[in-house]
Amino acid sequence: MTAPKRTARRPATSKPKPKPCPDCTTGQVSESFQVGGRRKHQSDDRQEALCLTCFGTGQAPTE
């Protein structure tokens, strides 16, 4: 019997970490919203919305 051939291991190449989004950190931003039937007015409350720069990923867009 012959010993199995050993293959050399390649060093692990680490991928560069993606840059965070400049507008948000979690992929969500808070926005104000309008309330009312006919006469809309801005509410003092805020609601979470999807970041339009990174589309919710939290990473900077690549070109």
Asked, for residue 9, whether it belongs to a domain, the answer is no
DSSP for 19-31, please give it. PBPSS-SSSEEEE
Domain limits for position 24: 19-36+44-63
Number of domains in the chain: 1
Flag whether pLDDT at 62 surpasses 80. no
Asked, for residue 23, whether it belongs to a domain, the answer is yes
Asked, for residue 63, whether it belongs to a domain, the answer is yes
Q: In the block, which residue shows the tokens 């969500």?
A: 28
Asked, for residue 10, whether it belongs to a domain, the answer is no
Asked, for residue 29, whether it belongs to a domain, the answer is yes
pTM of the entire structure? 0.51
Query: Which tens digit of pLDDT belongs to each residue from 7-59?
Result: 888 777 777 888 888 888 888 888 888 888 888 888 888 888 898 888 888 88
